[in-house]
Amino acid sequence: MSGQDIQISGPDGNFSGYLALPEQTPAPAVVLLQEIFGVNADMRAKCDALAKEGYVAFCPDLFWRIEPGIQLTDKTEAEWARAFELFNAFSVDNGMKDIDTSIEAIRGHQACSGKVGTIGYCLGGQLAYLSATRTKSDASVGYYGVAIANRLDEAKSISKPLMLHIAGKDEFVPADQQVAMHEGLDDHPMTQLHDYPEMDHAFARTDGTHYDRDNAVLADGRTMSFLAQHLRF
């Protein structure tokens, strides 16, 4: 397994991302979609972990139009303030163009078997949902995605499997939005929604304030089974 920063050529310019390769290739691939902290140590570690599980893993820098190379933590007020500045300046539509470019670039990588999915967290959770509606992702997983309830009109475009992990006490996704997500997606044949009633936002962010090992392991186990079902077969 090896990890490195690489360049992707997109319609609006080149941007970087972190690529981790498994020991045996070709293999299915996963494009990881960042939180508001950029392609930081946590996202790189998630790529490395997926590579150990036998996946090509790539995390693109989705903030490159604002400021390339952002790598923040959740440990200081200054970093949180900068993260929210980036979030507020971020264009979802431009980000989705970059995700679509990343999916197709990784699909064509010599290490990839041809199947590519997405996994996203927080902001990336919303983008993973939109990957299911706007891209050719073969399977998409969103963890505590924000503002999905505002984009449920796109659910009619979902044609490949989507799994969402919902934190019941999410400070950024209030209860009425969670209800709307269930009402809009529960009956869709391609979607699976899992609730974690006592969890707050970012319960799967290792070493984060709200990290909960048991629920993170449960969610990650569901994710890995989902990926194995839809990307390996």
Question: Catalytic residues, which ones?
Answer: 170, 201
Helix (H, G, I), strand (E, B) or coil at 185: helix
Rounded to an integer, what distance in angstroms lies between the CA atom of residue 108 and that of residue 103?
A: 9
Among all chains, which residue has been given the structure tokens 């950029």? 38
Tokens of 69: 């190379």
- How many CB atoms are closer than 10 A to CB 129? 28
Contacts of 183 (CB under 8 A, 6+ apart): none
Single out the residue of 7, 3, 80, 86 nearest to residue 49, CA to CA: 3
Single out the residue of 91, 113, 92, 118 nearest to residue 103, CA to CA: 118
Single out the residue of 112, 109, 124 nearest to residue 60, CA to CA: 124
